[in-house]
Amino acid sequence: MISVDPIPTTAVAPSDILILSNGPGEISTWVRPVVQALRSHLPDSSQARISVVLSPCANASGREAEMARSLPGVDRVQGPEHFFSFLLSCKTAAGWDWRPHGVVIFLGGDQIYPVVIGKRLGYRTVIYAEWDARWHRWIDRFGCMTANIVAAAPEEFRSKCEVIGDLMADVQADREAQMVVGDRLNLLPDHDLIGIMPGSKKNKLSVGLPFCLGVAETIHRLRPQTQFVIPVAPMLSLDALAQFADATQNPDIRLFEGATTAELIEAESALPRLRTPSGLEVLLWPTHPAYDVMSQLQFCITTVGANTAELGSLGVPMIVLLPTQKLEVMKAWDGIPGLLANLPLVGDSFARLINRLILRQIYKEGRLFAWPNIWAKREVVPELIGPLKPQAVGAQVVGYLENPESLRAMRQELRSVRGEAGASAKLAAMVLEELRSCYSSDASD
């Protein structure tokens, strides 16, 4: 069994820990807690250096390297643009040196990557297996989210696998942080705190922000005891966010009847906010990660993406929106459809045609987009896809808010579809065991 008790740092120095990851969700919900857990045992970088190498990701925002560099405890980061040359040669663009002993940790990407890189560096390999474990013969250890992954492994390799739980379940705010959040938000008694997460990329924000502001106005009109907050996406400035609520800078606002504009209000003594023409103020929470404020939400209005995984792991009820009034914004398809949709000049026309065909197939097959629904293979949280209207969505949200029992049921279902908490400490302990075994092998030789 894995021990999660403190391990003497003298047992594993000096060494390198190389984390392989890819997308924004993995960095926020996997890399962050694992680095924190490792640093609780190995605070000295001269003793144990933590490097992050990113591989390309279809859902990337382009700011993943900045996100990784901002994590306390990370010493070095290489962006995805240099990944494949690193995979082939194990030489980074900056010419990093590597210590004789180390561990490669897989926290996102393709599980073949740690096999190749671990072999080239001569490092032990540890994979966090969320849904399945592969390459059993060549990987040293697997930290598995559930027992099903262990049971699916060939019998001769099951000793390498151990259930550690859900890394995303470790994304929790402590009580003291929540009290600070409450003070900063100036939450009013008996008021519901509603989150708005319209995305981080231009294509999503140009549609999502004015649409969600229109939903918020509808909710507030029907249920005045509501307050709203936007956890601002990492690396997105407040001015850049506000541009998408400005009709002079965002022509997509006119696509939606009931979508709302807003102006940015900033003051030294209060949180920044977006103020709509009706006077509704939506607070902006600029600190990242925003789990402390997200954990206090009664409900969240969100688009598809990694944010649905974070909300799901925090047990926050949500409604997931995919308005289709501007089909050309959906261009993140693989293969030939993706190439056609991104062609210059004619790409938008191809995108509209491709998305009509894809949406028709989605309706027919009942495809799911929100991560909690994908995990459960059924609709745990509502997904609304089509030519949506802010007024109708707002009324549906109010229906949930006025039915506390339905919200409790949704919270319970969200918590039931994931593994147990504590995975980051257990994975860190697994890595430390592998590091110690490196030195034990040397001593025996």
Q: At residue 67, does pLDDT exceed 80?
A: yes
Residue 260 and residue 344 in one domain: yes
pLDDT attached to residue 236:
87
Question: How far is Cα 106 from Cα 101, in angstroms, rounded to an integer?
Answer: 17
pLDDT attached to residue 432:
95
Neighbouring residues of 374: CB distance < 8 A, sequence distance ≥ 6: 368
Within-domain flag for 2: no
Task: Give the CATH number of the domain where residue 242 resides.
Answer: 3.40.50.2000
Range of the domain at 314: 175-416
Rounded mean pLDDT of the chain?
85
Residue 384 and residue 425 in one domain: no
Residue 130 and residue 182 in one domain: no
Question: How far is Cα 165 from Cα 204, in angstroms, rounded to an integer?
Answer: 32
Residue 149 and residue 225 in one domain: no
- Per the listing, tokens 């997105």 go with 236
**108-117, 131-140, 354-363: the lowest-pLDDT one:** 354-363
**193-197, 217-221, 270-274, 303-307: the lowest-pLDDT one:** 303-307
Residue 292 and residue 249 in one domain: yes
Number of domains in the chain: 2
pLDDT attached to residue 231:
94
Residue 341 and residue 355 in one domain: yes
**Looking at residues 320-331, what average pLDDT do you find?**
67
Higher pLDDT pick, 293 / 216: 216
Split at pLDDT 50, 70, 90, the class of 6 is: very low
pLDDT attached to residue 224:
95
- At 242-256, the pLDDT tens digits run 999 999 999 889 888
Residue 162 and residue 222 in one domain: no
Nearest to 397 by CA among 136, 223, 156, 266: 223
pTM: 0.74
pLDDT attached to residue 9:
47
- At 334-351, the pLDDT tens digits run 444 444 445 455 445 555
Residue 311 and residue 293 in one domain: yes
Q: At residue 385, does pLDDT exceed 90?
A: no
Higher pLDDT pick, 75 / 182: 75
- At 174-224, the pLDDT tens digits run 444 555 676 778 777 888 999 999 988 887 899 899 999 999 999 999 999
Both structure tokens of 367: 């495809």
Most confident of 108-117, 279-288, 319-328: 108-117
**45-49, 132-136, 327-331, 430-434: the lowest-pLDDT one:** 327-331
Percent of the chain with pLDDT over 90: 58
